[in-house]
Amino acid sequence: MSLQRRLTLFFMLIVILPLLVAGFIVQRVIVGEISRRAVLSLRPTLDATVAIYNREEESLDQRVRRTVEGDQRFTALFRTGREVALGNYLERRLEESLDLDFLVALGRNDQVLGYASKAPSFLPGFRPPSPSAIARAEPGASNGMSRTPAIPVEVAGKGTQGHLIGGFWLDEDLLLAASRSGVDLSVISADRLVSSTAGVEASFEVEVDYIDPFQLELGEDAKAAATKLGGGMGIIASTPSAPITELSRQVLTSMLVVLLLALVGTAGLAYLLARLITRPLEELSQGARAIAEGRFDHRIPVRSKDEVGQLASAFNDMSGRLSQTITALSSSRDQIQRAVRRVGETLRSTHDMKQMLDSILNTAADAVDADIAVLWLFSVARGELYPAVARGLDTESLGRVKVGDGVVGFVAERARPLIVSQVSGGPAFSRHEPQFPHAIAVPIYSQERIMGVLVVYGRDAAQSFGQEELDTVSFLAEQGGVAVENVRLHEEAQRLSLTDGLTGVHNRRFFQMQFRQVLATATRFERPFSVLMLDLDYFKAVNDRFGHQRGDALLIEFSQRVKHLLREVDTFARYGGEEFICLLSETDVQGATTTAGKIHDAIKGTPFGGMDEELVSLTVSIGLAAYPDHGDSFKALVEAADQALYKAKQTGRDRVCVASAKPDLKLAN
């Protein structure tokens, strides 16, 4: 075989074999990563679904109570025992409710007096529980539903006439509210499918592993994970395997096409290259060996001016420059490594503003091999800039620079980057800036507004910065601005997640967080604290008369009045609608009663409204519960305060009521 053919074959093998290996690895990595992410997406979907279920279940009892609370017709139907009328009444109440699926009324002997239900979207083959089965079931999740405990129904002068049970179906409608793209959800009861979003046509039994992901047949093979709800019920999240298999086949086909094209191109290039190389190469081989041994001073004699002579001349030039290039590459490698480490630090410190600014500064200095670097930020009034972070010198040795003064002020005023050198003829340094022969100054933006100026300085008068260094610093400044903006957005998102969007006071989530801290302190040091539940009286009538926009304004003014009456250590939050809640630290029943009285008098004493508005007189009902007199947990104290508020409403509103030592939650007419 000729040298030309051998070179062609060898070159093709050198190129194609790594491409084959790389193509196989890429195909395996891509498909494997997609499969891994599909499995990893199951658990967050389950957690989100369980969170929706828990939220619905936690407020279920309250929603059922509100459905019939205060309705004298409901208690009258119980008193007369008219089963048909009671069933019709429950159907009407259920039609008005958007978040309840069934209601069951039980008599004194737990016989079913009335039943109303929305049609569940269960799989064919799974029968929804009957009214008597619902009545016999334990509270919580079971047999395709979630139900409340039996709520006593009392009639004045008659005592307890029966009980009321309500709940919602664990059907496809509930799953659709929590489903995510690419993930199907299913509900099982006693290892039998109840409902599913996977297109299953009928109910059947399945084997479930609640610990690890498992394979599941839902019409087609799928990867799944499951979690228990209680009562023999659970939720399954699954993702079909067919799309991943099809993707693997498509990736493999694409890689084969690319490899075929690469093979054809490589063959042509290898043939041309072999034709150029197949000439006497002894002297070039000797020179190559000398270079391989590190003898860069070796020279190849140039005996002609043809291609071989030109190659020999180029080889000699190459050997001379290799020594310089290797030295430069070694320095550049260290510089790049430092820059990469700084970029990594910047990404890891996304939520730490100080560390973020320091990483941006150090990365920019390392990238262009600068001696000094300073990050200047605007003052609050934006009339001057101050050195926030510096490398290579102390910020205390620098002063503030006015906008428009010196290099920093020039860039801050004109919002454009600048290269400064001894011969540039540009703006001179301010006396408060470092005095060096060379510098690059670029603006840093955050939310489309200049937040500061990044400046790198060079001490060596013989080495100046060019356009390449300017582009590098500008790129890093741009990325730094994005990173800073992300930090600010994260901080703002954290604040908004704990604040009510309308009134600006804290929301229920923040209240629960504070309650845990106060409860822990009170338990450890045996100190009291109190909870106030506030509700504006007849606020629906205010909304009906003045409109919801005016009603929102009244809620805001109400929030501000109450907030000004509380201490900084107290927590005030919007609990829902026109209900608010207060957490009074280290305050017993007597102190809480005094505070509640101040709030009551402040709301009642002065009408609400501003200039050119009709004044509105409002009153507030307040329920009070204290630790440890009325409970020792979040649920117990809030329920006690809510029961006291209910008592205040029932006894005429516009008053403060203290919870009893053992709150008893019952419906009354």
Q: According to the model, what pLDDT value does residue 278 have?
A: 61
Q: According to the model, what pLDDT value does residue 584 have?
A: 94
Closest CA to 104 of 171, 149, 158, 160: 149
Token pair, residue 44, equals 């967050």
- Between strands 401-402 and 571-576, the pairing is unpaired
Give the separation between CA 620 and CA 537, rounded to whole angstroms.
Answer: 5
Give the separation between CA 115 and CA 112, rounded to whole angstroms.
Answer: 7
Q: According to the model, what pLDDT value does residue 65 have?
A: 87
Average pLDDT per 10 consecutive residues for the chain, totaling 669 residues: 71 76 74 74 86 88 85 79 83 86 87 90 90 90 90 76 88 82 87 88 88 81 86 88 72 79 78 64 71 72 71 76 66 57 54 72 79 85 85 84 87 85 72 84 82 84 75 80 69 65 87 92 92 94 91 92 92 91 94 94 90 88 94 93 94 93 43
Q: CB-based contacts of 663: which residues, under 8 Å, 6+ apart?
A: 625, 630, 631, 636, 639, 640, 643, 644
The structure tokens 């908004």 sit at 496
Q: Using alpha carbons, list the distances in angstroms from residue 176 to 48, 88, 203, 553, 652.
A: 12, 30, 18, 36, 44
**Three-state DSSP state, 230:** strand
Q: Using alpha carbons, list the distances in angstroms from residue 227 to 67, 198, 199, 316.
A: 31, 17, 21, 72
pLDDT digits (tens, 9 = 90+) for 238-277: 888 767 677 777 777 887 788 788 777 877 877 777 666 6
144 in Cβ contact with 169 (< 8 Å): yes
184 beta partners: 238
The structure tokens 């508005």 sit at 613
How close are the terminal C-alpha atoms of the chain, in Å? 106
Angle at 404 between CA 401 and CA 410, to 5 degrees: 95
In terms of DSSP H, where are the helices of 231-383? 242-277, 282-292, 307-348, 353-367
- Between strands 372-378 and 384-391, the pairing is antiparallel
The structure tokens 């310089």 sit at 324
Token pair, residue 445, equals 């933006």
Q: According to the model, what pLDDT value does residue 436 have?
A: 82
Q: Using alpha carbons, list the distances in angstroms from residue 372 to 271, 336, 468.
A: 53, 18, 18
Q: According to the model, what pLDDT value does residue 117 have?
A: 92
38 in Cβ contact with 140 (< 8 Å): no
Closest CA to 24 of 208, 251, 196, 230: 251
**Three-state DSSP state, 115:** strand
Q: According to the model, what pLDDT value does residue 104 have?
A: 92
165 in Cβ contact with 107 (< 8 Å): no
Closest CA to 132 of 114, 116, 112: 112
Burial string for 82-109 (b: 16+ CB within 10 Å, else e) reads ebeebbebbeebbeebeebbbbbbbbee
Q: According to the model, what pLDDT value does residue 650 have?
A: 94
**What are the DSSP calls for 1-37, one per residue?**
--HHHHHHHHHHHHHHHHHHHHHHHHHHHHHHHHHHH
Please count the CA atoms within 13 angstroms of the CA of 177 that sit on its side-chain side: 13
Neighbour order of strands in the sheet with 401-402:
401-402, 384-391, 372-378, 449-458, 438-446, 418-420
Angle at 51 between CA 46 and CA 56, to 5 degrees: 130
Q: According to the model, what pLDDT value does residue 493 have?
A: 58
Torsion of CA 405, 411, 415, 419, to 10 degrees: 150
654 in Cβ contact with 601 (< 8 Å): no
Q: According to the model, what pLDDT value does residue 663 have?
A: 45
What are the respective helix, strand and coil percentages of the chain, to the nearest 5?
50, 20, 30
Give the separation between CA 499 and CA 487, rounded to whole angstroms.
Answer: 19
The structure tokens 């080495």 sit at 463
Task: State the maximum Cα–Cα separation within the chain, in Å, rounded to a whole number.
Answer: 125
Q: CB-based contacts of 68: which residues, under 8 Å, 6+ apart?
A: 74, 93, 164, 667
Closest CA to 374 of 483, 484, 462, 473: 473
Q: Using alpha carbons, list the distances in angstroms from residue 337 to 329, 343, 367, 454, 644.
A: 12, 10, 9, 21, 66
Q: DSSP state, 608?
A: B
State which amino acid sits at residue 26. V
Q: According to the model, what pLDDT value does residue 438 have?
A: 82
pLDDT digits (tens, 9 = 90+) for 83-107: 888 888 889 888 888 789 999 998 8
**Three-state DSSP state, 137:** coil
Cis peptide before 628 (omega within 30 of 0): yes
Closest CA to 655 of 606, 601, 617: 601
Cα 334 to the center of its chain, rounded Å: 37
Token pair, residue 537, equals 């009286």
**Three-state DSSP state, 200:** coil
Give the separation between CA 503 and CA 559, rounded to whole angstroms.
Answer: 7
Q: According to the model, what pLDDT value does residue 183 have?
A: 86
